[in-house]
Amino acid sequence: MPATSPTLNVMMLAARKAARDLRRDFGEVENLQVSKKGPGDFVSNADLKAEQTIFEELSHARPGYGFIMEESGVREGKDKTHNWIVDPLDGTSNFLHGIPHFATSIALEREGQLVAGVVYNPVTDEMYYAEKGTGAYFNDKRMRVAGRTRLSDAVLACGIPHGVRAGQEAFANEIKTLLPKVAGVRRFGAAALDLAYVAAGRVDGFWERGLSSWDMAAGVVLVREAGGIVTDLKQGSNFLETGDIVAANDTLHDRLIPELG
């Protein structure tokens, strides 16, 4: 494994510790006590336990850093220049249905800039990690975004708004536009892993609307350090605020923007 910084080591350790309970609960998914936050948006004991583990580990390692977490919200720290952005279980619906495609996502924000990210799938033991200026890695291998430049060769990942979520009409128009022009579209159900797959060259691009910062932050660092481009769908906005994101290599990114605009 390539040498990693103390910061990345702390992040990966927290993700692996949270994974212990996630793996166990995934094996007994039918016994989980589950409550609904809303249509298609579940929270389980597994989410809460994983988030608490990550919070404790990171708080111990970096006292004073703030937190932005999916389940617990914002916890301000004494150090106003650093925030951990945490999704303990991205792909909760997959998890609860016994589909082994979910991840823990941890990012570090320094003075408003994303500087480090870790995405970890506990079932497959796939660790994706990156730090600004040092490259992106999958386990011990360097990652690069795919080099395909034609839409007709590209397989894209996406998110689909479901239930009562906004954006269904926009998505229907996007799919109608893109399907005849690309090699395929996949909907996996975990945005953090979608972005990790872009970084690893497994898919050529990704887009989704209405995400939260914890869904994207770590994956954004991965894609950028793997040589890719990440922007808001309108390019002039902050995707962490709008939740609308597109990621790909530079050529495909520029070709996707007009199709999704």
* Annotated domain spans of the chain: 6-142, 151-259
For the chain, the farthest-separated pair of C-alpha atoms sits apart, in whole angstroms, at 52
- Is 70 annotated as belonging to a binding site? yes
Instruction: Decide which of 38 and 152 is more confident.
Output: 152
Whether pLDDT at 52 is above 70: yes
Edge-to-edge strand ranges of the sheet holding 155-158: 184-186, 155-158, 205-208, 245-248, 229-231
Question: 90: annotated binding-site residue?
Answer: yes
- Fold match between domain 6-142 and domain 151-259: no
pLDDT of residue 39: 47
Tell whether residue 47 is among the known ligand binding residues: no
User: What is the reported pLDDT for 105?
Assistant: 98
Residue 42 has pLDDT above 70, yes or no: no
Which of the listed CATH numbers 3.40.190.80, 3.40.50.300, 3.40.50.2000, 1.10.8.50 matches domain 151-259?
3.40.190.80
Q: Are 199 and 228 in contact (CB under 8 A)?
A: yes
Q: Is residue 140 part of an annotated ligand binding site?
A: no
- DSSP 8-state assignment for residue 182: S
CA dist 231 and 250 (Å) reads 11
| Model pTM score | 0.93
pLDDT, residue 43, reads 63
The domain at 6-142 falls in which architecture? 2-Layer Sandwich (3.30)
Q: Average the pLDDT over each of 25-29, 45-49, 186-190 and give the range with the smallest value.
A: 25-29
Structure tokens at 27: 């094996």
21 is in an annotated binding site: no
Average pLDDT of the chain is 92
